[in-house]
Structure 1
Amino acid sequence: MDDFGVYAVFGANSPPQRLLSADGSCRVSVAVPPSVRQVVLFSSGPWGERICVNAELNDAERIPITIGKLTPYNKCLSWEQWEEETWRDNVTLNVTLVGGNLTKADWSEPALILAVKEYTPKDTVAQPAARELNGKRKRERMAEEDDGEKKVTKTGEEENMCPNGIIKTTPVRKVKGQTKGSQRLFASGTANGAGEMQGTAGKTPPQTAARTKSRQAKTPTQTASLHSPSGRWGQTLCPIDAQTAILIGGQGARMQFCKDPMWKLCTEDMSWVAAETLAEGPTPEARIGHTAIYDPESRRIFVFGGSKNKKWFNDVHILDTQSWKWTMVEAQGKVPPLAYHSCSMFRGELFVLGGVFPRPNPEPDGCSDLLYIFDPNLSIWYQPIVTGDKPSPRSGHSACVMQERKIYVFGGWDTPICYNDMYMLDLGFMEFSAVKTSGKAPSPRSWHGSAVLSDTKFLIHGGYNGNNALSDAFIFDTDTNSWTEVMLPQLSVPRAGHSIITMDTGGHCRFTEEDGDADVNAGSVSRTLLVFGGGDNEGNFYSDLTTVSVEELLAAI
């Protein structure tokens, strides 16, 4: 007997209600009562051949507020109103079952519309007090939203916001100066020059109605393709062997986190394989601004930090690429929640530098200048003793490990300044020094892409300067400390928040879904630069995969 079911709990006091069952509809739509500020979705029973359950919270205009997915290894989701900036009344929960013994007729059937059952607690004496409290909280929230430009709690402290976001009392779609359809790539704010930003690093410029209509028509949607990832920015693309890379996280159109957060890429034929449902264990919560780095010795990927709306992370998740299982580390020591930091690996340890803090810790829009090290063997965080001339606080910068003993840090921002300076950390002496460079240096920028091309050269491409996404590319030579601009048509599209990696290509690659391994038969091998995703801060989010020969790049110097 198949006892599979998907249940939802609407509010803290209501019992679970079944939405999907083994012999019922595969699509359900439920109107969330206005008084409900929490929704929990979970599955019960054997999954069988079922792949996943897609879930969306939509507003009154059917625009997704937040997106999640149940899988055989991640069987529970929860949403809270105060974590989702655009959650208001008239919210709808849409749930769709994928896989199992579904036919084409099942997929084409309309969603079954359910009503949330009314629930009256047995303790009728205590109920008026609870309702009065809910009404009081609702009135307080409405008063906060109508009381000026800042949301203030009872203690007078500002609520935690996305990095450097100016606090607004209205949803993102109704920010003054923006039309309804405009798309923000970066947090709100106003720009005052290429190198200086007032209030915030990042904003979509105000747009006319005609311009917005045209742009909205070509903006990629959040509908997941069966063959390739959806458009996004703020993701990570992490190589795990000669011809395989793992894509994790990201955010796409309408400020929504991707429904397809995890993919595998085989560079032999540049094909994608959806990988989220293949991994066992607790999958990391959706996020942007995180880092993912691969340790070839242990064959594990380490994911750290990032943010999701008002939620910020300092957790460490590990994906074992041999067993294809996720684990979450219970680490000792202290590291603050950070996003848009850099993470480098040296001798099996993670070196986390900079990043932006959540509000108001330690202060609004504050960036870090600290270095934290994570030791996976001991599962402990510690701060090393570092000397020399270290970089100023920043986030959105890049860090490249060169010759296995030096980390080169470039660019980034700390409101209201964007940087184009260079620092080097000598990992033998743990000493920082400012690098005096020659040649034409990149202009100030953050959220750019970087990749190591050879023992002595690395690439900087694109990024955001406070006004626009950039499309230029530069190569830095660590032997001569010199910059050289390179111009290639493959790198001419403006983008920021994208992923750049270098990999060996050629030969043959075959995916094995049982354990996530890839078999590689080496043939002719060449080094290739891969550019994925990103956005242009004009409403466009990319899912294209661009390749450039490293030899061609170096020959352009």
Structure 2
Amino acid sequence: MDEFGVYAVFGVNSPPQRLLCADGSSKVAVAVPPTVRQVVLFSSGPWGERICVNAELDDADRIPITIGKLTPYNKCLSWEQWEEETWMDSVTLIVTVEGGNLGKLDCSEPELILAVKEYTPKDTVAPLSARELNIKRKREQIVEEDCDEKKVAKRRDQENVFPSVTEKTTPLRKVRGQNKGGQKLFSNEGDGTKTKGAGETQGIVGRTPPQSAVRMKSKQAKTPTQSVTLVSPSGRWGQTLCPIDAQTAILIGGQGSRMQFCKDPMWKLCTEDMSWVAAETMAEGPTPEARIGHTAVYDPDSRRIFVFGGSKNKKWFNDVHILDTQSWKWTMVEAQGKVPPLAYHSCSMFRGELFVLGGVFPRPNPEPDGCSDSLYIFDPHLSIWYQPIVTGESPSPRSGHSACVMQERKIYVFGGWDTPVCYNDMYMLDLGLMEFSAVKTNGKAPSPRSWHGSAVLSDTQFLIHGGYNGNNALSDTFIFDIDTNSWTEVTHPQLSIPRAGHSIITMETASRYRFSEEGEDADVDAGSVSRTLLVFGGGDNEGNFYSDLTTVAVEELLRDI
């Protein structure tokens, strides 16, 4: 296969079928039989100037299910039907190539309509029906879970493992953006996998949000109120929300129900009216592969977003993707130097460089995965990774911690997780001296936690909200003052829902109210601008995933301190 081609495998027994070739059409539609439950798409041969290959499923009602994109860096993807999902009688796979020269470049309509060549292996029994396959899968799942429990019981004290999926049917009160679910987001039991920080093994499960475009076999999916076109992100956790200017933030990645990676991975938030715009197709170039536990940091000087690391199932990343917010084009960095694949690390921008601390990294089998206590720096100008010489008392290995850059000279690191221990300690890295020191704090400190949200409120104060303590998702909020090294707990009704793996940022937004010295709301002052705390997404360990966007005036949080 010396020439470029795109191939598909339909089902577990079918051979690969070529869909696109170097001198053929740039777009093809394939009719997929309802008996096919898995689709694997991959490319072969040199990409040349081709940018990406888009893959999308359409059912009879023309409801799109985006599988993802192939790129020169991510040359294979797959999609599998879940038991609750229903194939329509005429599902169509649409594959489109962007960039390069494929001869027929008109992508307005597919050039070819193909039918899948159904394949029956010789000397085999007939394929199982849908019901038989479901029963077989459930039996296999029970056997696997039983084996996993025995393995976990044997290794629980020997390995660092993350929580597994457990059942709990107790419903919670309904809030905007919340969906009822019957399975836990986290539990304090290991799942037998050799991961210590991969979000996938935490068992984040629940129901797909009502606005999801995925067709589900349920009454809720067929109600007239369900939106076919997404107008806001689906519920998720493990994503990033990155401000790029006073009115705009970019949402990237995340994972939702049934440990499925979000099929709407990129959104643009406009804070003028708090509206969302799907942004995956807005940017050119190779988009990052679906992931959670990554970081996204914006450099205001170059006006670029740097996305680093993360994980997907048993795959770990140490790649750096850059989104130029002026040209709206993705590029992937071929960096020099070594940095391990990391997830649930922290990443801070200082003087144009990325400071990556901690996180989870994979170890070769049979060793379990471990947490890092190392500091890595990425220099975008030279495209190189290096490890600085750091003195002082460094934080112990951890993941799921937070890091806040204060006064452009200090990074404050709080909390995190290193199975089976959660932390609530504080460390400070002096960026001038490159020296770590443990911070002795005053006041009531937050309880140990990881996967919490953090945000800088002022030159001297930052906020910690929610998180996971090894058993439950948390809903409390604390503010730390670096001048006095003191913690203050604050209570706000909009920050009262337990959640972990959520995103918190602060932005300049139009002020709705002006507060008097007595703390009471005064006249509406629509022309003023104030700092606002924005909270998006996360999960609550009860099977619920959030897609709500909560806004709280920073002035309102600070006035009682």
Normalised by the length of structure 1, the TM-score is 0.71
SS at match of 2:555: helix
Output the aligned Cα RMSD: 4.7
Matched, 1:78 2:79: no
Deviation at 1:387, TM superposition (A): 0.8
User: What is aligned with 1:320?
Assistant: 324
Name the structure 2 match of 1:406.
Answer: 410
CA contact (8 A) 1:529 1:547 kept: yes
- Residue 221 of structure 2: aligned partner: none
For residues 342-357 of structure 1, the aligned pairs below 5 Å read 342-357=346-361
SS at match of 2:17: coil
Stretches of structure 1 lacking an aligned partner (at least 5 in a row): 43-50, 58-63, 107-111, 121-126, 129-141, 152-157, 192-196, 206-211, 508-521
What is the CA-CA distance between 1:526 and the residue it aligns to?
1.1
1:128-527 equivalences under 5 Å are: 149=147, 164-165=161-162, 182-186=182-186, 189=189, 221=212, 223=214, 225-360=229-364, 363-506=367-510, 524-527=528-531
Q: Give the CA deviation at 1:329.
A: 0.3
Given that 1:85 and 1:309 are in contact with CA atoms closer than 8 Å, whether structure 2 keeps it comes out as no
Partner of 1:40: 42
Residue 488 of structure 1, CA deviation: 0.6
How far residue 467 of structure 1 moved from its aligned partner, in angstroms, is 1.1
Structure-2 residue corresponding to 1:69:
68
- The CA distance in 2 between the partners of 1:217 and 1:312, in whole Å, is 25
Q: Please tell me the residue identity of whatever aligns with 1:419.
A: Y
Q: Partner letter of residue 426 of structure 1?
A: D
Residues 342 and 361 of structure 1, relative CA distance in 2, 3 Å threshold: farther
Q: Residue deviations 1:129-180, cap 9 Å, x none? A: xxxxxxxxxxxxx9xx8798369xxxxxx9xxxx93479xxxx7xx79999x
What is the rounded CA distance, in whole Å, between the counterparts of 1:201 and 1:436 in structure 2? 34
Q: Distance in 2 between matches of 1:188 and 1:252?
A: 20
1:40 alignment partner AA: F
In structure 1, how many angstroms separate the alpha carbons of the residues matched to 2:280 and 2:237? 18
- The Cα of 1:116 is off from its aligned counterpart by 3.3
Query: 1:54 deviation in Å?
Result: 2.5
1:253-278 deviations in Å (ceiling 9; x for gaps): 11111111011111111111111101
Q: Where does residue 56 of structure 2 map in the other structure?
A: 54
1:75 and 1:425 map into 2 onto residues whose CA distance is 35
Amino acid corresponding to residue 69 of structure 1 in structure 2: G
Distance 2:497 2:432 in 1: 39
Counterpart contact for 2:56–2:93, Cα < 8 Å: yes
Following TM superposition, by how much is the alpha carbon of 1:79 offset from its aligned partner in structure 2, in angstroms?
3.2
Q: Deviations over 1:329-351 (max 9, x none)?
A: 00011000010000001111000
Q: What TM-score do the two structures reach when normalised by structure 2?
A: 0.70
Deviations 1:341-375 (A, max 9, x none): 00001111000000011254794141000000000
**Structure 1 segment 17-28 matched on structure 2, within 5 A:** 17=19, 28=31
Seen in structure 2, the aligned counterparts of structure 1 residues 357 and 16 have a Cα distance that, compared at 3 Å, is same
SS at match of 2:558: helix
Q: Cα distance, 1:97 vs. partner?
A: 5.2
Assess, with a 3 A threshold, how the Cα gap between structure 1 residues 362 and 339 changes in structure 2: closer, same or farther: farther
Give how far 1:556 is off.
Answer: 2.8
Output the CA distance in 2 between the equivalents of 1:202 and 1:471: 23
- Give unpaired runs (5+ residues) of structure 2: 45-52, 97-106, 124-139, 150-154, 171-180, 215-227, 512-525
CA contact (8 A) 2:430 2:436 kept: yes
Q: Which amino acid aligns with 2:232?
A: S
**Relative to structure 1, is the Cα distance of residues 442 and 54 closer, same or farther in structure 2, using a 3 angstrom cutoff?**
same
Contact 1:74-1:281 at 8 Å conserved across structures: no
Over 3 Å counting, the alpha-carbon distance change for 1:276 and 1:188 in structure 2 is farther
